Structure 1
Amino acid sequence: MIWIGLILLAVVATPLLIERNRLTMNDAARGSAPGQFAELSRGVTHYFWFGPQNGPVAVCIHGLTTPSFVWRGITKGLALMGYRTLIYDLYGRGYSDRPSGVQDRQYFLSQLNELLDREGVNGRITLFGYSMGGSIATCFAAAAPDRIERLVLLAPAGMGLTPNKIMDFIAKAPLIGDWLMLALFASFFRKGIKAESTQATNVPHVFEQQAEQLEYKGYVSAVLASRRGILTDVLRDEHRAIQAAGIPVLAIWGKEDSVIPASAIGTLAEWNRAAEHEVIPEAGHGLPYTHANQVIDLVRNHLMAKG
């Protein structure tokens, strides 16, 4: 019986020890990072500007597991279009700090508002949101429609997630869910990266950079906090408010996306009948880094059609 108890103790302790021994995101880890850093109310935020100094401002918000580097292909295209583009790492990802707490909309909106204030961005912006970043962008636009020139959503969350029994259980179970997340997520995440890594990308080494996130303490917990937080929000009222405010919306989807359900297109079309929709036939969920050129072409066509 003692041996059984010791084995069980080892099983329980192993994920906790692995997390404890992961690297800490600190000044030393940020030593080789490109871009700049801002000390905001909840900690350090890593960010980067691209494009001409005096161009119209675009802001790009990344997704649940993919830090700001996934926008590098998009930012090149936006710079050629004359945009001055801001990308940044959400708390818990990339080179930003990993503050604890529920990652609900206010958690993310305060980070974005503080960063824009610090950088002196007072005028109207074109706001891009990818996956979970689509939910954040939608909430921001609905809360401050006078600050938005247009909204571009890439495979956006906010219309419901594809059911996943394991992740759904983890998200709903306060203690055992935390342990299961630490025990299982890394394996699931690496498997997903491997499946996607056969695709050509517009961002060099993007899959290696995704996998590197697992090396840092707090990343897995941040993913779970967002899954329990902003990703539980169904944004019907927000999309209706965006339509009522007259904000132009372009939504771009991957036909082969297994993360955001296909029904999301119809749902968004019902909530905002003025939104324009484009589907990239061969694309999955990784639109910013697997199909950046097609995304930029669609954005350019959208702008030209709007005059």
Structure 2
Amino acid sequence: MASGILILILVLLVVVIGAAALPYWAEARRRPMDEWERRDAPGTCVQLSQGVTHYQWHGAVRGPVAVCVHGLSTPSFVWNGLARALGAMGYRVLTYDLYGRGYSDRPEGSQNDDFFIKQLEDLLDDQEIEEDFTLFGYSMGGAIATVFAAKHPNRVRHLVLLASSGMVMTTDRATQFIRQKQGLGDWLMLALFPGRHRRGTEAERALLSSVPDIVDLQQRELHYRGFVPAVLSSLRGILSRELQDEHRTIHRAGVPVLAIWAREDDVIPLSAMGRLTEWSRDAWQEVIEDAGHGMTYTHTDQIAAILGERLRDGLN
């Protein structure tokens, strides 16, 4: 009898350990982002100080430069529609994959302000961009663009923020717990995020998009090792605080700011608009009424129309 109970306990222990190890096993089985995976990548890959960065130039051969920084979980292809529109306006458009996403490397370490600023500084140096440029940031990319502009206001001709983080961000209790708790939070992120990412992107499959097959491209990120940990590291890093000081610095430096918000955004609520007004009263702000958080690719034409007017007028 005792031996039977012992065997049952051992079996249950093995099951529990196996279940606990499953998310880590799944992550280990994902494909590494390496030269083989990059063989068909559009654009170019370059070795920078923190790892390989994938980038593309779009639009005009000559003209003012626009640099576009994407968000938390969707790589640089999120800009493809707007890049075409900006190119038609005469811009030379540089897009790139943040570390942990797309075809860029997955270096370890905290994905905080300094981490992302260094990647952008390295890329600008590599591409020999010495003149001032228009800096675009979407969602988390808005936070990255903001901290860069606060550090280098003389390099930024215009700062354009689309559904930008750094002011107000909606997070549920599970995400808050995962962000705050080391260890258990890591396990929960590996266990829960892939399913949530698939469901969230699948919910947009019926929407019109300026980026063909964007849902499949977004879900493809889950095939690669390091993507989920990168998202978690960003939640604990650059997305962990408000950027009041940075916005006030940008305001004092006189950098023109255009912020575009989505009325139906369930990630960055419209209350962020009021927060930005408090910190940067000269910022020009627009709202797209029927758009959600994916407005960069679902409402490209409306955004392009706003950009055409405001950038032409110098945001004055």
Output one character per residue of 1:68-119: Cα deviation in whole Å (capped at 9) or x when no partner. 0000000000000000000000000000000011000000000000000000
- AA of the residue aligned to 1:5: L
Q: Whole-Å Cα distance in 2 between the matches of residues 280 and 62 of structure 1?
A: 19
Displacement of 1:10 in angstroms is: 1.4
Task: Write the mapping of 1:109-148 to structure 2, written as runs, cut at 5 A.
Answer: 109-148=117-156
2:215 equivalent among 207, 211, 214: 207
Please say if 1:293 is aligned against 2:271: no
Task: Write the mapping of 1:188-227 to structure 2, written as runs, cut at 5 A.
Answer: 188-227=196-235
- AA of the residue aligned to 2:150: A
In the alignment, which residue of structure 2 is the partner of 1:303? 311
Q: Whole-Å Cα distance in 1 between the matches of residues 50 and 169 of structure 2?
A: 28
1:71 equivalent among 79, 99, 106: 79
2:41 equivalent among 33, 37, 43: 33
Output one character per residue of 1:255-291: Cα deviation in whole Å (capped at 9) or x when no partner. 0000012211100111100001111111000121111
Q: Whole-Å Cα distance in 2 between the matches of residues 163 and 176 of structure 1?
A: 18
Please say if 1:45 is aligned against 2:53: yes
Task: Write the mapping of 1:140-159 to structure 2, written as runs, cut at 5 A.
Answer: 140-159=148-167
Q: Whole-Å Cα distance in 2 between the matches of residues 15 and 68 of structure 1?
A: 27
Displacement of 1:2 in angstroms is: 1.5
Q: Whole-Å Cα distance in 1 between the matches of residues 288 and 243 of structure 2?
A: 24
Q: Whole-Å Cα distance in 1 between the matches of residues 299 and 291 of structure 2?
A: 7
What TM-score, normalized to structure 2? 0.96
2:45–2:54: 8 Å Cα contact kept in structure 1? yes
In the alignment, which residue of structure 2 is the partner of 1:258? 266
In the alignment, which residue of structure 2 is the partner of 1:169? 177
| Paired-residue identity, % | 50
2:171–2:267: 8 Å Cα contact kept in structure 1? no
Q: Equivalent residue of 1:99, what SS?
A: coil
RMSD in angstroms over aligned alpha carbons? 0.9
Q: Whole-Å Cα distance in 1 between the matches of residues 61 and 121 of structure 2?
A: 20
- The structure having more radius of gyration, on CA atoms, is 2
Q: Which runs of 5+ in 1 are unaligned?
A: none
Q: Whole-Å Cα distance in 2 between the matches of residues 292 and 236 of structure 1?
A: 28
Q: Whole-Å Cα distance in 2 between the matches of residues 303 and 40 of structure 1?
A: 31
In the alignment, which residue of structure 1 is the partner of 2:3? none
Displacement of 1:304 in angstroms is: 3.1
Output one character per residue of 1:187-209: Cα deviation in whole Å (capped at 9) or x when no partner. 11111011122211000011100
Number of residue pairs aligned between Structure 1 and Structure 2 = 307
What TM-score, normalized to structure 1? 0.98
Displacement of 1:163 in angstroms is: 3.0
1:94 equivalent among 98, 102, 106: 102
Displacement of 1:303 in angstroms is: 2.2
In the alignment, which residue of structure 2 is the partner of 1:13? 21
Q: Which runs of 5+ in 2 are unaligned?
A: 1-8
Q: Whole-Å Cα distance in 2 between the matches of residues 59 and 305 of structure 1?
A: 19
